[in-house]
Structure 1
Amino acid sequence: MHKTFIVVGILNNEYVYISDGELRRIEKPKKKKVKHLNFTGTVAEEIRDIILSKKDVTNSKIKIFLQSADIGKEV
């Protein structure tokens, strides 16, 4: 089973920071190699806008988006 995360930061061309709002909270995101990730192409517009405006993203916003987006869920 694969877990779904949101990219919450970009370190460089090889690494990004990911969070799911639960296990990997926004305060301590996981540093992950890009080549080990499968991207869905889905953009969390609201979360992206918060990050770009330099405001704090909450774990609850990340969890709500991941639950409502049906990303990676098998039918």
Structure 2
Amino acid sequence: MDNTFSLLRGQVVRSKKGRDEGRVFVITEIIDDDFLFIVDGKLRKLDRPKKKKVKHLYIYKDVIDLNVKDLNDSYIRKKLLPYS
């Protein structure tokens, strides 16, 4: 089953299971059909992304541009602020 077919790098997601339930993240990398790497810039920073199953996430339609010159955790926190 291809779960990651409609997902994009930079797409906003919210966790529905686990210790981080209810937290908003952004997708940094799609690993395979079932797993992603996600960050929020606060607890999960760019240097230590969280590996998460797609079925444990709510998917938003919004996409954050991650192709900026100086991508850092502060930029991600600012972009995710309206979702929390």
Q: What TM-score bracket applies, with the shorter chain setting the length?
A: 0.7 to 0.9
1:27-71 Cα distance to aligned partner (Å, 9 max, x none): 0000000011001111002x2x24xxxx6631111011011xx22
Q: After TM superposition, where is structure 1 displaced by more than 2 Å over at least 4 residues in a row? A: none
Aligned position for 2:64: 44
How many residue pairs get aligned? The number is 64
Aligned position for 1:62: 76
Q: Residues 62 and 9 from structure 1, CA distance in 2 versus in 1: closer, same or farther, beyond 3 angstroms?
A: same
The gaps in structure 1 that reach 5 residues or longer are none
TM-score (norm 1): 0.76
Pick from 8, 22, 34 the counterpart of residue 14 of structure 1.
34
TM-score (norm 2): 0.68
The gaps in structure 2 that reach 5 residues or longer are 1-20
Query: For 1:58 and 1:17, how far apart are their aligned partners in 2?
Result: 16
Aligned position for 2:6: none
Q: Which structure's residues are more often helix, by fraction?
A: 1
Q: How far apart are residue 7 of structure 1 and its match?
A: 0.5
> What percent of counterpart residues are identical?
34
Query: For 1:12 and 1:56, how far apart are their aligned partners in 2?
Result: 27
Matching residue's letter, 1:62: I
Q: Which structure's residues are more often strand, by fraction?
A: 2
Answer yes or no: is the 8 Å Cα contact 1:17–1:29 preserved in 2.
yes
Query: For 2:71 and 2:51, how far apart are their aligned partners in 1?
Result: 17
